[in-house]
Structure formats: C-alpha cells, structure tokens
Structure 1
C-alpha cells in the first residue's frame, strides 16, 4: 500500500492509507497548484 508522496514543490504528503493519501494530495493540489488536477491512478503512480 502506498501512503507517501513527495510533491515537486518540496512538500511531503502522508496518508493513513491510499484513499487518505489521494484526498490529501488532491487538497494540496487545489490549494497550492490550481489547474494541476491528477486522477487517483496518477497520484498512486508517483506515490510510494
């Protein structure tokens, strides 16, 4: 299960599970990188 992701902006995002990681990543993108929307599959592809 992937629960961590490093955004290229330098922010490290950690979730309790994959669904939580996706939710937190999408919230980070919406707040800090408007217009950069990624699907759950794309998020999990770059997560570890």
Structure 2
C-alpha cells in the first residue's frame, strides 16, 4: 500500500492509507496549485 508522496514543490504528504493519501494530495493541489488536478490513479502512480 502506498502512503507517501512528495510534491514537486517539496511538500511531503503522508496518508493513513491510499484513500487518505489521495484526499490529502488533492486538497494540497487545490490549495497550493490551483488548476493542477490529478486523478486517484495518477496520484497513486507517483506515490510510494
């Protein structure tokens, strides 16, 4: 299960599970990078 991702801006995002990671990543993108929307599959592809 993937629970970590590093945004190109340098922010580390960690979730309790994949669903939490996707939600936190999408919230980060919405707040810090408007217009950069990624699907669940795209986020999990980049996650580790």
Scaled to the shorter chain, the TM-score interval is over 0.9
Runs of 4+ in 1 over 3 A off after TM superposition: none
Q: TM-score of the superposition, structure 1-length normalised?
A: 1.00
**Any unmatched runs of 5+ in structure 2?**
none
Q: TM-score of the superposition, structure 2-length normalised?
A: 1.00
C-alpha root-mean-square deviation of aligned residues, in Å?
A: 0.1
Q: How many residue pairs were aligned?
A: 48
**Any unmatched runs of 5+ in structure 1?**
none
